[in-house]
Amino acid sequence: MSESKAALKEFQTEVRAWMKENVPAPPPFLLPLSFLEVGTEQQLDFLREWQHRVWSAGYLGMHWPKEYGGQGADPAYQGVVDRELGAANAPIMFNTIGLGWVGPLLLEMGTEDEKAKYLKAILSGEEIWCQGFSEPDHGSDLGAVQTRAVRDGDEYVINGSKIWTTMGNYADHMILLARTDPTAERKYDGLSFFLSPMKIPGVDAVPIRKVTGEYGFNQVFFTDARIPASTLMLEEGKGWQVAMKTLEYERGVQAGQGTSHWAVSIQIDDLIDDLRGFERDGEPLFQDPSVRDQAVTLIMEAKALALSQRRMRLSGLTSDFPMGLPLSSKYRGTEWARRMKLFGTAMQGASSSLYMGDGDAYRGGFWQRAYFSNFGMTIGGGTTQVQANIIAEHVLGLPK
């Protein structure tokens, strides 16, 4: 790390003070728990304004180059901001697909034109990005993408449908994986990657209601939608390569993401503190031996995850399977979070039967919603089961 601890500490003090002054009071309506559940214009406007304020203060894109709206600083500074955003319980940085995936992707593989055209508006929140990878019949199996892109002069004509498109109804752009060559011998070689506009004729986003009762996902239909040929990244047939790079960012293997503050942070401390008021057999919940045992197990998992984050930096302790810890962090972290939130739901006695909207629901049904919502994490970006295959094959060397 090139930055001194003292400089970072000073920066942290500055950011903390700024947060104290600027983090908005909770609005009268419910905010989403993560960027996956932005479902109303009201939520969108609130979050967009907040992201814009953070960026204007110089606290977003800390390590993106200045000419693209960043701060040109060391990545450690974004880490400081993210921690302070979490510590201040600040609203999320909602433009996650732009900040976390598209931005780093363009910085690594994009042309000068692409960087100049897109990066700044990602940071400011002016332009929202969505991702068009999954299709109705092809969720985790990306190589089988069927949406067609056919070259016609200076344009490509797009036909097909994408699903689970977070913010598809609000987005200005989509990273689109489409098939340009259906005859390619290897299915992967027929794919191309586009930076497709969304607000054009022939593109329709239909919101999908989730298990939580909220919106956020869409199915996006392309019907003879014409997009400029200049939106193709690299060249035809390289789509798989670009998509895989994008997934590395999505799964957090690569450092240098725009921000990690894309969901309301729920720590194990929140869970334990929050449940202390409940009783079981007429006694405080955490006097029950079985509940205590389960709570300790969850705390231990939280600690193991924190320790493994640290261990990644100690090469002497990771030599057996060098990529093992980073490649398993999504697998471990999202499943732990699911179990923790399930516990938060289940420990409420009869109250665990209530949901958002019921006036008596504990904290408005916070844990119930958080538990359901967490499936977005264990399914999105490659399901837990796909992650297990990846670890088995790429870390342990087991056959496909």
Q: Which residues are catalytic?
A: 250
Instruction: Say whether residue 292 binds other proteins (CB under 8 A).
Output: yes
- Determine the Cα–Cα distance for residues 150 and 180; give it in Å rounded to an integer: 6
* Tokens found for residue 190: 């027929």
DSSP 210: -
Helices 366-379 and 324-346 cross at an angle (nearest 10°) of: 150
- Which position has the token pair 């892109």? 149
Instruction: Say whether residue 321 binds other proteins (CB under 8 A).
Output: yes
For residue 24, the minimal CB distance to other proteins (Å) is: 22
357: left (phi over 0), alpha (psi -120 to 50) or beta: left
Task: Compare residues 159 and 328 and give the one whose CB is closer to other proteins.
Answer: 328
Q: Which of residues 58-117 bind other proteins (CB under 8 A)?
A: 83, 87
Q: Which of residues 151-190 bind other proteins (CB under 8 A)?
A: none
Task: Compare residues 172 and 274 and give the one whose CB is closer to other proteins.
Answer: 274
Q: Which of 48, 42, 256 is nearest to 171 (CA)?
A: 48
Instruction: Say whether residue 392 binds other proteins (CB under 8 A).
Output: yes
Contact with other proteins (CB under 8 A): which of 221, 278, 286, 355? Answer: 286
Task: Compare residues 226 and 332 and give the one whose CB is closer to other proteins.
Answer: 332
Instruction: Say whether residue 336 binds other proteins (CB under 8 A).
Output: no
Contact with other proteins (CB under 8 A): which of 13, 42, 89, 385? Answer: 385
- Determine the Cα–Cα distance for residues 252 and 335; give it in Å rounded to an integer: 15
For residue 19, the minimal CB distance to other proteins (Å) is: 15
Task: Compare residues 192 and 329 and give the one whose CB is closer to other proteins.
Answer: 329
The 231-270 contact track toward other proteins, x by CB under 8 A, reads ------------------------------------xxx-
Task: Compare residues 206 and 390 and give the one whose CB is closer to other proteins.
Answer: 390
Three-state SS for 271-333 is HHHHHCCCEECCEEHHHCHHHHHHHHHHHHHHHHHHHHHHHCCCHHHCCCCCCHHHHHHHHHH
What b/e string do you get for 239-257 counting C-beta neighbours within 10 Å, with b at 16 or more?
A: bbbbbebbbbbbbbebeeb
- Determine the Cα–Cα distance for residues 228 and 155; give it in Å rounded to an integer: 4
List residues near other proteins by CB under 8 A. Answer: 83, 87, 267-269, 272, 286, 289, 292-293, 295-297, 299-300, 302-304, 306-308, 310-311, 314, 316-317, 320-321, 324-325, 328, 331-332, 385, 388-389, 391-392, 395-400
